[in-house]
Structure 1
Amino acid sequence: MNSIQPPISDVVARSADIPWVPQGSGNVWFKPLRISVAQNRWVNLLKVTKGGVVNRHRHLAEVEGWVIQGRWHYIEHDWAAGPGDFVYEPPGDVHTLVADVADEAEPMMTLFSIHGAIEYVDENDELVHIETAETKLRRYLEHCESAGIAPLDLAY
Protein backbone atom coordinates (compact mmCIF):
# COMPACT_ATOMS: atom_id res chain seq x y z
CA MET A 1 0.00 0.00 0.00
CA ASN A 2 1.34 3.43 -0.95
CA SER A 3 0.95 6.00 1.88
CA ILE A 4 2.48 8.92 -0.02
CA GLN A 5 -0.01 11.71 -0.51
CA PRO A 6 -0.26 13.36 -3.94
CA PRO A 7 1.27 16.83 -4.00
CA ILE A 8 -0.95 19.84 -3.64
CA SER A 9 -1.01 22.37 -6.43
CA ASP A 10 1.45 25.24 -6.49
CA VAL A 11 0.75 28.02 -4.02
CA VAL A 12 1.84 31.65 -4.08
CA ALA A 13 1.72 33.47 -0.75
CA ARG A 14 1.53 37.17 -1.54
CA SER A 15 3.20 38.61 1.52
CA ALA A 16 1.78 42.07 0.83
CA ASP A 17 -1.69 40.60 1.48
CA ILE A 18 -0.70 39.04 4.83
CA PRO A 19 -0.74 41.19 7.98
CA TRP A 20 2.10 41.49 10.47
CA VAL A 21 1.04 39.68 13.65
CA PRO A 22 2.38 40.78 17.05
CA GLN A 23 4.65 38.16 18.61
CA GLY A 24 5.34 38.04 22.32
CA SER A 25 7.39 40.97 23.50
CA GLY A 26 6.94 44.44 22.01
CA ASN A 27 8.51 45.46 18.70
CA VAL A 28 8.41 41.90 17.30
CA TRP A 29 6.05 40.71 14.57
CA PHE A 30 5.70 37.71 12.29
CA LYS A 31 4.09 37.32 8.89
CA PRO A 32 3.15 33.68 8.25
CA LEU A 33 3.74 32.45 4.71
CA ARG A 34 3.00 28.74 5.25
CA ILE A 35 1.84 26.75 8.25
CA SER A 36 1.67 22.96 8.20
CA VAL A 37 -0.07 21.75 11.36
CA ALA A 38 0.26 18.11 10.24
CA GLN A 39 4.07 18.43 9.93
CA ASN A 40 4.42 20.98 12.77
CA ARG A 41 6.37 23.28 10.44
CA TRP A 42 5.98 26.87 9.44
CA VAL A 43 7.67 29.53 7.36
CA ASN A 44 7.40 33.16 8.34
CA LEU A 45 9.00 36.53 8.03
CA LEU A 46 10.16 37.91 11.36
CA LYS A 47 10.37 41.68 11.84
CA VAL A 48 12.04 43.25 14.86
CA THR A 49 12.35 46.99 15.40
CA LYS A 50 14.58 48.91 17.75
CA GLY A 51 14.40 47.51 21.25
CA GLY A 52 12.73 44.29 20.13
CA VAL A 53 13.81 40.94 21.51
CA VAL A 54 12.65 37.40 20.76
CA ASN A 55 12.68 35.92 24.24
CA ARG A 56 14.98 33.07 25.24
CA HIS A 57 13.90 29.87 23.51
CA ARG A 58 14.91 26.34 22.56
CA HIS A 59 14.25 24.72 19.20
CA LEU A 60 13.24 21.06 19.32
CA ALA A 61 14.08 20.64 15.62
CA GLU A 62 16.23 22.47 13.11
CA VAL A 63 15.60 26.00 11.89
CA GLU A 64 16.90 27.82 8.83
CA GLY A 65 16.95 31.57 8.46
CA TRP A 66 17.87 34.00 5.72
CA VAL A 67 18.45 37.63 6.68
CA ILE A 68 16.73 40.03 4.31
CA GLN A 69 17.55 43.33 6.02
CA GLY A 70 19.04 44.62 9.22
CA ARG A 71 21.32 42.77 11.61
CA TRP A 72 20.72 40.58 14.64
CA HIS A 73 22.57 38.37 17.07
CA TYR A 74 21.99 35.90 19.85
CA ILE A 75 23.06 36.94 23.33
CA GLU A 76 24.38 33.42 23.88
CA HIS A 77 26.59 33.33 20.74
CA ASP A 78 29.53 35.38 19.49
CA TRP A 79 28.36 36.08 15.94
CA ALA A 80 25.93 38.46 14.24
CA ALA A 81 23.90 37.93 11.07
CA GLY A 82 23.32 40.54 8.38
CA PRO A 83 21.65 40.91 4.98
CA GLY A 84 22.18 37.88 2.77
CA ASP A 85 23.44 35.68 5.61
CA PHE A 86 22.06 32.17 6.06
CA VAL A 87 21.67 30.87 9.61
CA TYR A 88 21.27 27.23 10.60
CA GLU A 89 20.11 26.40 14.12
CA PRO A 90 20.41 22.79 15.29
CA PRO A 91 17.85 21.08 17.53
CA GLY A 92 18.36 21.91 21.19
CA ASP A 93 20.02 25.31 20.66
CA VAL A 94 18.91 27.85 23.28
CA HIS A 95 19.19 31.54 22.48
CA THR A 96 17.72 35.03 22.73
CA LEU A 97 17.43 37.04 19.50
CA VAL A 98 18.28 40.73 19.68
CA ALA A 99 17.94 43.01 16.66
CA ASP A 100 20.84 45.35 16.05
CA VAL A 101 18.63 48.17 14.79
CA ALA A 102 20.14 51.63 14.61
CA ASP A 103 16.91 53.39 13.67
CA GLU A 104 13.23 52.67 13.08
CA ALA A 105 13.47 53.27 9.32
CA GLU A 106 14.81 49.77 8.57
CA PRO A 107 13.76 47.03 10.97
CA MET A 108 15.47 43.65 11.02
CA MET A 109 13.68 41.21 8.76
CA THR A 110 14.53 37.51 8.40
CA LEU A 111 12.80 34.63 6.65
CA PHE A 112 12.66 31.62 8.99
CA SER A 113 11.71 28.03 8.25
CA ILE A 114 10.88 26.31 11.53
CA HIS A 115 10.69 22.51 11.74
CA GLY A 116 9.02 21.61 15.03
CA ALA A 117 8.07 23.16 18.34
CA ILE A 118 9.82 26.04 20.07
CA GLU A 119 10.05 26.06 23.87
CA TYR A 120 10.24 29.53 25.39
CA VAL A 121 12.17 29.36 28.64
CA ASP A 122 13.08 31.73 31.44
CA GLU A 123 16.60 32.53 32.69
CA ASN A 124 16.57 29.24 34.67
CA ASP A 125 15.57 27.22 31.58
CA GLU A 126 12.10 26.67 33.06
CA LEU A 127 9.39 26.25 30.40
CA VAL A 128 7.18 29.32 29.94
CA HIS A 129 5.39 28.65 26.63
CA ILE A 130 5.45 26.16 23.74
CA GLU A 131 4.96 27.48 20.19
CA THR A 132 3.81 24.99 17.56
CA ALA A 133 2.41 25.27 14.06
CA GLU A 134 -1.04 24.99 15.61
CA THR A 135 -0.49 27.87 18.07
CA LYS A 136 1.10 29.96 15.30
CA LEU A 137 -1.94 29.42 13.06
CA ARG A 138 -4.29 30.22 15.94
CA ARG A 139 -2.41 33.45 16.68
CA TYR A 140 -2.63 34.47 13.01
CA LEU A 141 -6.38 33.71 12.81
CA GLU A 142 -7.13 35.53 16.08
CA HIS A 143 -5.19 38.57 14.91
CA CYS A 144 -7.08 38.64 11.61
CA GLU A 145 -10.40 38.36 13.44
CA SER A 146 -9.58 41.15 15.91
CA ALA A 147 -8.37 43.40 13.06
CA GLY A 148 -11.39 42.64 10.86
CA ILE A 149 -9.19 41.09 8.17
CA ALA A 150 -10.25 38.07 6.13
CA PRO A 151 -7.51 35.47 6.77
CA LEU A 152 -5.80 33.79 3.85
CA ASP A 153 -5.53 30.01 3.76
CA LEU A 154 -1.87 29.58 4.72
CA ALA A 155 -2.30 26.10 6.20
CA TYR A 156 -1.02 23.58 3.70
Structure 2
Amino acid sequence: MAVMTAPPSSKAAIVDVPFAHKELVARLSPGGRYIDAQSDVDSPWVPFGDNAAIKHLAFDVRQNLFSNILWVKGPGVIGTHLHRGTITMVCLEGSVRYLEYDWVASPGGLILEVPGESHTLVTEHPQGTKLFGWMQGPIDFFDEHGVLVDTADVWWYINHYETYCRDNGIAINPKLYL
Protein backbone atom coordinates (compact mmCIF):
# COMPACT_ATOMS: atom_id res chain seq x y z
CA MET A 1 0.00 0.00 0.00
CA ALA A 2 1.33 3.45 -0.92
CA VAL A 3 1.81 6.07 1.79
CA MET A 4 -0.56 8.98 1.32
CA THR A 5 1.20 12.35 1.36
CA ALA A 6 -1.83 14.31 0.08
CA PRO A 7 -5.42 13.52 -0.90
CA PRO A 8 -5.29 11.27 -3.97
CA SER A 9 -7.43 13.38 -6.31
CA SER A 10 -7.94 17.05 -7.00
CA LYS A 11 -10.88 16.48 -9.34
CA ALA A 12 -14.08 17.99 -7.96
CA ALA A 13 -16.46 15.12 -8.70
CA ILE A 14 -18.65 12.75 -6.72
CA VAL A 15 -17.02 9.33 -6.64
CA ASP A 16 -19.10 6.22 -5.98
CA VAL A 17 -17.09 4.80 -3.07
CA PRO A 18 -17.55 1.07 -2.35
CA PHE A 19 -18.82 0.44 1.16
CA ALA A 20 -20.42 -2.85 2.26
CA HIS A 21 -23.05 -1.19 4.47
CA LYS A 22 -24.10 1.70 2.22
CA GLU A 23 -27.81 0.72 2.27
CA LEU A 24 -27.84 0.49 6.07
CA VAL A 25 -26.27 3.93 6.35
CA ALA A 26 -28.81 5.36 3.90
CA ARG A 27 -31.70 3.81 5.86
CA LEU A 28 -30.59 4.47 9.44
CA SER A 29 -28.26 7.47 9.52
CA PRO A 30 -29.69 10.92 10.21
CA GLY A 31 -27.30 12.12 7.51
CA GLY A 32 -24.96 15.04 7.31
CA ARG A 33 -26.32 18.54 7.53
CA TYR A 34 -25.32 22.19 7.49
CA ILE A 35 -26.30 24.57 10.29
CA ASP A 36 -25.87 28.28 9.55
CA ALA A 37 -24.21 29.66 12.67
CA GLN A 38 -23.70 33.17 11.26
CA SER A 39 -27.38 34.06 10.94
CA ASP A 40 -30.51 33.20 12.90
CA VAL A 41 -31.94 31.16 10.00
CA ASP A 42 -31.26 27.78 11.65
CA SER A 43 -31.04 28.75 15.33
CA PRO A 44 -31.72 31.96 17.27
CA TRP A 45 -29.63 33.45 20.07
CA VAL A 46 -31.32 32.27 23.29
CA PRO A 47 -30.70 34.38 26.41
CA PHE A 48 -28.50 32.71 29.04
CA GLY A 49 -28.62 35.09 32.00
CA ASP A 50 -28.39 38.88 31.69
CA ASN A 51 -25.14 39.16 29.69
CA ALA A 52 -24.98 35.98 27.64
CA ALA A 53 -26.78 34.01 24.95
CA ILE A 54 -26.50 30.57 23.40
CA LYS A 55 -26.94 29.61 19.74
CA HIS A 56 -27.81 25.91 19.84
CA LEU A 57 -26.29 23.94 16.94
CA ALA A 58 -26.82 20.23 17.65
CA PHE A 59 -28.41 17.83 20.13
CA ASP A 60 -27.59 14.11 20.31
CA VAL A 61 -29.74 12.47 22.99
CA ARG A 62 -28.14 9.04 22.43
CA GLN A 63 -24.73 10.27 23.60
CA ASN A 64 -25.72 13.27 25.77
CA LEU A 65 -23.82 15.49 23.30
CA PHE A 66 -24.70 19.07 22.48
CA SER A 67 -23.06 21.79 20.46
CA ASN A 68 -23.53 25.52 20.67
CA ILE A 69 -21.94 28.93 20.54
CA LEU A 70 -21.79 30.70 23.89
CA TRP A 71 -21.75 34.49 23.56
CA VAL A 72 -20.82 36.50 26.62
CA LYS A 73 -21.73 39.97 25.34
CA GLY A 74 -19.23 42.00 27.35
CA PRO A 75 -17.04 41.61 30.39
CA GLY A 76 -18.66 38.96 32.55
CA VAL A 77 -18.70 35.60 34.26
CA ILE A 78 -20.30 32.22 33.67
CA GLY A 79 -20.39 30.87 37.20
CA THR A 80 -18.45 27.97 38.63
CA HIS A 81 -19.37 24.69 37.01
CA LEU A 82 -18.23 21.07 37.09
CA HIS A 83 -18.03 19.04 33.89
CA ARG A 84 -19.05 15.39 34.00
CA GLY A 85 -18.00 14.83 30.38
CA THR A 86 -15.47 16.00 27.82
CA ILE A 87 -15.64 19.56 26.48
CA THR A 88 -13.99 20.84 23.31
CA MET A 89 -14.29 24.56 22.57
CA VAL A 90 -12.78 27.05 20.12
CA CYS A 91 -12.60 30.74 20.93
CA LEU A 92 -14.20 32.52 17.96
CA GLU A 93 -14.11 36.14 19.15
CA GLY A 94 -12.79 38.17 22.06
CA SER A 95 -10.94 36.39 24.81
CA VAL A 96 -11.76 34.21 27.80
CA ARG A 97 -10.07 32.51 30.69
CA TYR A 98 -10.83 30.38 33.72
CA LEU A 99 -10.01 31.73 37.16
CA GLU A 100 -8.51 28.34 37.97
CA TYR A 101 -5.91 28.43 35.13
CA ASP A 102 -3.13 30.77 34.05
CA TRP A 103 -3.94 30.98 30.30
CA VAL A 104 -6.17 33.29 28.25
CA ALA A 105 -7.88 31.92 25.12
CA SER A 106 -7.91 34.16 22.05
CA PRO A 107 -9.59 33.69 18.64
CA GLY A 108 -8.63 30.36 17.11
CA GLY A 109 -7.51 28.93 20.45
CA LEU A 110 -8.61 25.42 21.41
CA ILE A 111 -9.91 24.73 24.93
CA LEU A 112 -10.02 21.11 26.11
CA GLU A 113 -11.68 20.12 29.37
CA VAL A 114 -11.90 16.70 30.96
CA PRO A 115 -14.56 15.21 33.24
CA GLY A 116 -14.24 16.06 36.92
CA GLU A 117 -12.80 19.56 36.59
CA SER A 118 -14.59 22.63 37.90
CA HIS A 119 -13.86 26.16 36.84
CA THR A 120 -15.22 29.68 36.51
CA LEU A 121 -15.32 31.23 33.02
CA VAL A 122 -14.43 34.93 32.87
CA THR A 123 -14.03 37.43 30.05
CA GLU A 124 -12.60 40.88 30.59
CA HIS A 125 -12.64 41.66 26.86
CA PRO A 126 -14.68 44.83 26.08
CA GLN A 127 -16.71 42.90 23.47
CA GLY A 128 -16.86 39.73 25.57
CA THR A 129 -16.31 36.40 23.84
CA LYS A 130 -17.90 33.83 21.56
CA LEU A 131 -17.01 30.18 22.11
CA PHE A 132 -17.96 27.30 19.83
CA GLY A 133 -18.29 24.09 21.80
CA TRP A 134 -18.97 20.36 21.59
CA MET A 135 -19.95 19.18 25.05
CA GLN A 136 -20.63 15.70 26.35
CA GLY A 137 -22.37 14.86 29.58
CA PRO A 138 -23.92 16.95 32.31
CA ILE A 139 -22.55 20.23 33.60
CA ASP A 140 -23.26 21.01 37.27
CA PHE A 141 -23.58 24.74 38.10
CA PHE A 142 -22.83 25.99 41.62
CA ASP A 143 -23.47 29.22 43.50
CA GLU A 144 -20.76 31.21 45.29
CA HIS A 145 -21.09 28.91 48.34
CA GLY A 146 -20.53 25.68 46.39
CA VAL A 147 -24.20 24.72 46.51
CA LEU A 148 -25.50 22.93 43.41
CA VAL A 149 -27.96 25.21 41.57
CA ASP A 150 -28.77 23.19 38.45
CA THR A 151 -27.50 20.47 36.15
CA ALA A 152 -27.46 21.13 32.42
CA ASP A 153 -27.31 18.16 30.06
CA VAL A 154 -28.58 17.55 26.53
CA TRP A 155 -32.16 17.56 27.85
CA TRP A 156 -31.65 20.90 29.65
CA TYR A 157 -30.22 22.45 26.47
CA ILE A 158 -33.08 21.08 24.33
CA ASN A 159 -35.58 22.53 26.80
CA HIS A 160 -33.70 25.87 26.78
CA TYR A 161 -33.91 26.01 22.98
CA GLU A 162 -37.47 24.69 22.53
CA THR A 163 -38.99 26.81 25.30
CA TYR A 164 -37.49 29.97 23.81
CA CYS A 165 -38.71 29.03 20.33
CA ARG A 166 -42.26 28.27 21.53
CA ASP A 167 -42.42 31.47 23.60
CA ASN A 168 -41.26 33.56 20.63
CA GLY A 169 -43.18 31.91 17.79
CA ILE A 170 -40.03 30.44 16.22
CA ALA A 171 -40.26 27.08 14.47
CA ILE A 172 -38.21 24.32 16.11
CA ASN A 173 -35.54 23.23 13.62
CA PRO A 174 -35.37 19.42 13.21
CA LYS A 175 -31.88 19.74 11.66
CA LEU A 176 -30.47 20.40 15.15
CA TYR A 177 -31.38 16.89 16.35
CA LEU A 178 -28.89 14.15 15.45
Q: Counterpart of 1:40?
A: 64
- Is the CA contact (8 Å cut-off) linking 1:34 and 1:43 kept in structure 2? yes
- Corresponding residue to 2:149 among 128, 133, 141: 128
Secondary structure at the aligned position of 2:69 is classed as: strand
Aligned-partner SS, 1:135: helix
Q: Distance in 2 between matches of 1:39 and 1:9?
A: 16
Quote how far apart the aligned CAs of 1:107 are.
3.7
SS of 1:45's equivalent in the other structure is strand
Is 1:21 aligned to 2:42, yes or no? no
Please state whether the residue corresponding to 2:163 is helix, strand or coil: helix
Show the counterpart of 2:54. 30
| Correspondence for 2:168 among 123, 147, 154 | 147
Alignment check: 8 A CA contact 1:42 1:133 kept: yes
Task: Give the drift of 1:128.
Answer: 1.1
From 90, 95, 115, give the equivalent of 1:66: 90
| Bigger Cα Rg | 2
In the aligned structure 1, how far is the partner of 2:146 from the partner of 2:128?
29
Q: Which deviates more from structure 2 when the two are superposed, residues 74-83 or residues 121-130?
A: 121-130
What is the alpha-carbon distance in structure 1 between the residues aligned to residue 119 and residue 68 of structure 2? 18
TM-score normalised by structure 2 residue count? 0.78
- Cα deviations by residue, 1:89-123 (Å, 9 ceiling, x for unpaired): 11111111112222xxx441110110110000123
User: Which ranges of 4 or more aligned residues in structure 1 deviate by more than 4 Å?
Assistant: none
Q: 1:131: how far off? A: 0.1
Equivalent residues of 2:98, 2:119 under 8 A apart = yes
How big is the alpha-carbon RMSD for the aligned residues of Structure 1 and Structure 2? 1.6
Q: Is the 8 A contact 2:75 2:128 kept in 1?
A: no
Unaligned runs of 5+ in 2: 1-23
Instruction: Assess if the C-alpha contact under 8 Å between 1:101 and 1:108 holds in 2.
Output: yes
Counterpart AA for 2:108: G
Question: Which consecutive unaligned segments of at least 5 residues does structure 1 have?
Answer: none
